[in-house]
Amino acid sequence: MKCILSLMSILVSMLFVPSLIVFIAADTSSTSQFVSLSYGKNITSPSGTFEIGFFHLGNPNRSYLAIRYKCCPDQTFVWVANDGKPVNDSSAMLRLNTSSGSLVLTYNNLNWSTSSPNVANIYNPVAELLDTGNLVIRERQKPKPEVEEEEYIWQSFDHPSNTMLARMKIGWDLKRNLNRSLVAWKSDEDPTPGDITWGIVLHPYPEMIMMKGTHKYHRLGPWNGLRFSGMPEMRPNPVFNYTFVSTKDEIYYMWTLQANLITKVVLNQSNEERPRYVWSEVDKIWNFYSTMPGEHCDHYAFCGANSFCSSTASPMCECLKGYKPKSLEKWKSMVWTEGCVLKHQLSCMNDGFAPVDDLKVPDTKNTSVDETIDLDECKKKCLNDCSCMAYTNSDISGSGSGCVMWFGELIDIKLYEASGSGQRLYIRLHPSELDSIRHKKSKTILIISVAATIGVILAIYFIYRRKIYEKSKEENNYENYVDDLDLPLLDLSIIIAATKNFSDENKIGEGGFGPVYRGKLASGLEIAVKRLSKSSNQGMSEFVNEVKLIAKVQHRNLVKLFGCCIQKQEKMLVYEYMTNGSLDYFIFDSTKGKLLDWPKRFRIICGIARGLMYLHQDSRLRIVHRDVKASNVLLDDTLNPKISDFGMAKTFRGEDIEGSTERIVGTFGYMAPEYAFDGQFSVKSDVFSFGVLLMEIICGKKSRFYRGKQVHNLVDQVWTLWKNDMALQMVDPNMEDSVVACEVLRCIHIGLFCVQQYAEDRPTMTSVVLMLGSEMELDEPKNPGIFKKKESNEANSSSRSSMNAMSITSLTAR
């Protein structure tokens, strides 16, 4: 059975199959051209991709003159006329005034019309809806151009709504002083303009900016010859071809399709994002493809001036070299907006420059560009101007060319984790900062040679000192331990203000280690605060050590730790807030479950697998989670899953770490037999729990569920049906419409591998990720490890089960 699983390969494969959409072969002159359009009549583009007519957008009492995709049942509108005002009149009519060459919409005794061109004589004009979704007015007898480069009398592409389509230019026609930008609709049903716009801002080094009202909200940054500086994923690919044109006449961004694909980029007011969707002809839905801003660091000036933001670092904000926080106190409590200031007044001509790699370059408002000089000359030019704070190549294609210089504060810099994603920026530094770079090197050499001779003496001395120190340390005097905590240490008062004094209204859950509260910092950043129960008998130094370690574990499928708070016996962890709550809230709920179709669930399964693989394999800690379950998987606003509570089991239940134990952390129903039975845990017991969770996601049922009064074991049921080739019967009816049978079966197959009775038979998470993303042949799974609880009145709720209450059963194939 061949079955392509990864979403990208689904997408790419779609592109090369001869188009699945049956295009209507049409007589171009009759169907798509018109001089009038009345209420209730639609005009279709030549091959049937788009149509224009009077439509309502959800509320039948409000109709609009709009263009929409004809293919796709929902949310297909790409343009509205009349500034989004409704046209509630069945006598509404769109007519072409053939003497002025403009389209006039008449309704309720009101008028809206397209602008008239500055042309003296227009001969026999006609309106036409093109296959690109562009509504144009042109002179009839002119031959229709192959490529749409013709000067139309008027075109809707010059007046974009909230949607960007292929071949549409976003940016400036400088000859006509025309700025084409996307404007969000107030809501999906109300297309009047909202306050989010997206377009090109004519800085000396022009850049793509999303505005919220009059404030900058997100920068894609300037075009650097290869891509937008803030969009590393924009690379040559077989699907999209990106173009940026900057001449004295026009500056615009455009993309075209190299494959047959239905796609759109929509500016969305309600979530303040700019997602791209791709239509899936198989599933009949718009698949979410990517979005901007995608993370905190994409929000304009998130870290204030003269700093950079790194979404995988902790803390996320750091001052540029040579700069220090303007207010150290605020900086430490995660209020970064004030940014950083120079450590030393610059000395101008004696200054130097330090290269910093992998950046999104700063806001280009105060820049100057010289395309004719190279990097050496650029450096000289910048050095000679005492207000020039940074420079780099304006074009990084090839070996780089041109010069761009920044003046004043450096704002909105992002550091990319993957090298090669960002670009190099040369930052002006005081000579003493440069000296410290040189001195460090010689110091290192000195230290090494000294250490070689007196290392032994030092070692003895430190061991001796440490003993004295340990004796004298006071358990709750945390200041001794947090000095080098690489993580913001928040003041209790800040947490109290953010969570409204831990009010019930802000409480969002009760984890194994204490309650969790939602909160909002003064800077607007939303957080989740885990207040560890005071009964935890862990010492302060261990706590700090563990937090330090967790802070270093960073992955896009793990919930991010922002900081912590230690004060007056209180220990709190501050995490990023996840808008969509936990996975159990979706999959075990018959209404919410409908929001997660198969492609979404598959993405979630893959995300969890990658997060666990990182914990097991790639992080410096090799963490065994020990409590993998649906309620420990949180979903962000794009439904990207993130595992929470990792490291907690290891760290906050120190007494449980060794081998067998009476108290078993974990949740009944997810526990591997060797763990439940012997208290032995390993990465393979996490793999078991993952297998159970995978089946829950597919079946929409808890690992132990009721049918009538009887408790059933999900793994048991799936295994039995699998053996009889009937596993699909278990699939959650909530996602029936979107299920791709071969994919689901493959996932169940992988899940059964994970829950095999013997730990050594189970795959590692690395193999699980590989199996999920490929088509490789899979062996037959062996019997799952299933254990049954004697008293069956409790389904999957408590942690800490006692061994005595359980017995282990291994099922054999029937």
Measured CA to CA in angstroms, residue 321 lies from 306, 338, 343, 353, 630 at distances of 9, 17, 9, 10, 43
Instruction: At 803, list the tokens.
Output: 């061994």
Q: Cβ closer to ligand NAG: 447 or 595? A: 595
Q: Cβ closer to ligand NAG: 101 or 315? A: 101
**Do 47 and 131 meet the contact criterion of CB atoms below 8 Å apart?**
yes
**Count residues contacting ligand NAG (CB under 6 A)?**
10
Spatial separation of the C-alpha atoms in residues 682 and 677, rounded to whole Å:
13
Q: Using the rule CB under 6 A, give the single segment among 93-101, 250-258, 465-473, 796-804 that binds ligand NAG.
A: 93-101
Q: What values do phi and psi take at 608, rounded to 5?
A: -60, -45
Q: Cβ closer to ligand NAG: 77 or 681? A: 77
Task: Indicate which residue of 158, 627, 645, 732 is catalytic.
Answer: 627
Question: Tell me, what DSSP letter sits at residue 83?
Answer: G
Q: Cβ closer to ligand NAG: 181 or 333? A: 181
Q: Cβ closer to ligand NAG: 268 or 764? A: 268
Q: Cβ closer to ligand NAG: 78 or 220? A: 78
Q: Cβ closer to ligand NAG: 86 or 563? A: 86
Q: Cβ closer to ligand NAG: 182 or 694? A: 182
The closest alpha carbon to 259, from 275, 246, 278, belongs to 278
- When binding is defined by CB under 6 A, the residue of 6, 88, 100, 290 that contacts ligand NAG is 100
Q: Is 96 helix (H, G, I), strand (E, B) or coil?
A: strand
Spatial separation of the C-alpha atoms in residues 671 and 627, rounded to whole Å:
8
State the minimum distance, in angstroms, from the CB of residue 57 to ligand NAG: 10
**Do 163 and 78 meet the contact criterion of CB atoms below 8 Å apart?**
yes
- Residue 268 binds ligand NAG, judged by CB under 6 A: yes
State the minimum distance, in angstroms, from the CB of residue 416 to ligand NAG: 26
Q: Using the rule CB under 6 A, give the single segment among 59-67, 98-106, 460-468, 487-495 that binds ligand NAG.
A: 98-106
State the minimum distance, in angstroms, from the CB of residue 637 to ligand NAG: 7
Spatial separation of the C-alpha atoms in residues 608 and 604, rounded to whole Å:
6
Contacts of 719 (CB under 8 A, 6+ apart): 752, 783, 784, 786, 811
Torsion sign (Cα): 16, 21, 26, 28: negative
Query: Quick count: other Cβ atoms within 10 Å of Cβ 75?
Result: 17
Q: Using the rule CB under 6 A, give the single segment among 96-104, 683-691, 700-708, 727-735 that binds ligand NAG.
A: 96-104
Spatial separation of the C-alpha atoms in residues 135 and 127, rounded to whole Å:
7
- When binding is defined by CB under 6 A, the residue of 97, 312, 368, 554 that contacts ligand NAG is 97
CB-based closest residue to ligand NAG? 100
Torsion sign (Cα): 320, 324, 327, 329: positive
3-state secondary structure 520-589: ECCCCCEEEEEECCCCCCCCHHHHHHHHHHHHHCCCCCECCEEEEEEECCEEEEEEECCCCCEHHHHHCC
Q: Using the rule CB under 6 A, give the single segment among 92-100, 420-428, 476-484, 558-566 that binds ligand NAG.
A: 92-100
Q: Cβ closer to ligand NAG: 268 or 799? A: 268
Q: Using the rule CB under 6 A, give the single segment among 51-59, 265-273, 407-415, 489-497 that binds ligand NAG.
A: 265-273
- Residue 195 binds ligand NAG, judged by CB under 6 A: no
**Segment 747 to 766, residues that bind ligand NAG, using CB under 6 A:** none
State the minimum distance, in angstroms, from the CB of residue 360 to ligand NAG: 25
The closest alpha carbon to 512, from 668, 637, 714, 617, belongs to 668
Q: Cβ closer to ligand NAG: 182 or 335? A: 182
Instruction: At 497, list the tokens.
Output: 């203000």
- Residue 638 binds ligand NAG, judged by CB under 6 A: no
- When binding is defined by CB under 6 A, the residue of 139, 148, 150, 188 that contacts ligand NAG is 188
State the minimum distance, in angstroms, from the CB of residue 97 to ligand NAG: 4
- When binding is defined by CB under 6 A, the residue of 38, 91, 271, 397 that contacts ligand NAG is 271
Q: Using the rule CB under 6 A, give the single segment among 94-102, 238-246, 422-430, 773-781 that binds ligand NAG.
A: 94-102
Q: Using the rule CB under 6 A, give the single segment among 263-271, 468-476, 712-720, 782-790 that binds ligand NAG.
A: 263-271
Spatial separation of the C-alpha atoms in residues 337 and 303, rounded to whole Å:
5
Contacts of 178 (CB under 8 A, 6+ apart): 158, 172
Q: Is 678 one of the catalytic residues?
A: no
**Binding pattern to ligand NAG, positions 68-87, x when CB under 6 A?**
-------x------------
**Segment 403 to 432, residues that bind ligand NAG, using CB under 6 A:** none
State the minimum distance, in angstroms, from the CB of residue 83 to ligand NAG: 17
- When binding is defined by CB under 6 A, the residue of 13, 38, 91, 99 that contacts ligand NAG is 99
Spatial separation of the C-alpha atoms in residues 111 and 105, rounded to whole Å:
6
State the minimum distance, in angstroms, from the CB of residue 507 to ligand NAG: 25
Instruction: Determine the angle formed by the axes of helices 683-699 and 741-754, rounding to 10 degrees.
Output: 150
Q: Cβ closer to ligand NAG: 186 or 365? A: 186
- Residue 192 binds ligand NAG, judged by CB under 6 A: no
Q: Cβ closer to ligand NAG: 187 or 766? A: 187
Q: What is the CA radius of gyration of the chain?
A: 31
Spatial separation of the C-alpha atoms in residues 68 and 46, rounded to whole Å:
14
Spatial separation of the C-alpha atoms in residues 388 and 600, rounded to whole Å:
48
The closest alpha carbon to 597, from 273, 274, 261, 280, belongs to 280
State the minimum distance, in angstroms, from the CB of residue 99 to ligand NAG: 5
Spatial separation of the C-alpha atoms in residues 735 and 138, rounded to whole Å:
47
- Residue 590 binds ligand NAG, judged by CB under 6 A: no
* Residue 550, amino acid: I
State the minimum distance, in angstroms, from the CB of residue 75 to ligand NAG: 5
State the minimum distance, in angstroms, from the CB of residue 94 to ligand NAG: 12
Angle at 591 between CA 588 and CA 596, to 5 degrees: 70
- Residue 266 binds ligand NAG, judged by CB under 6 A: yes
- Residue 270 binds ligand NAG, judged by CB under 6 A: yes
* Residue 13, amino acid: S
Which helix (H) or strand (E) is 807 found in, with range? strand 806-810
Q: Cβ closer to ligand NAG: 88 or 100? A: 100
End-to-end CA distance of the chain: 24
State the minimum distance, in angstroms, from the CB of residue 186 to ligand NAG: 11
State the minimum distance, in angstroms, from the CB of residue 558 to ligand NAG: 23
Q: Using the rule CB under 6 A, give the single segment among 264-272, 460-468, 695-703, 735-743 that binds ligand NAG.
A: 264-272
Q: Is 202 helix (H, G, I), strand (E, B) or coil?
A: coil
Measured CA to CA in angstroms, residue 367 lies from 388, 411, 481 at distances of 9, 12, 44
State the minimum distance, in angstroms, from the CB of residue 139 to ligand NAG: 16
The closest alpha carbon to 667, from 625, 695, 699, belongs to 625
Query: Quick count: other Cβ atoms within 10 Å of Cβ 579?
Result: 13
Q: Using the rule CB under 6 A, give the single segment among 46-54, 97-105, 223-231, 327-335 that binds ligand NAG.
A: 97-105
Upstream peptide bond of 673 is cis (omega within 30 degrees of 0): no
The closest alpha carbon to 410, from 487, 280, 319, belongs to 319
Catalytic residues: 627
Binding site for ligand NAG (CB under 6 A): 75, 97, 99-100, 104, 188, 266, 268, 270-271
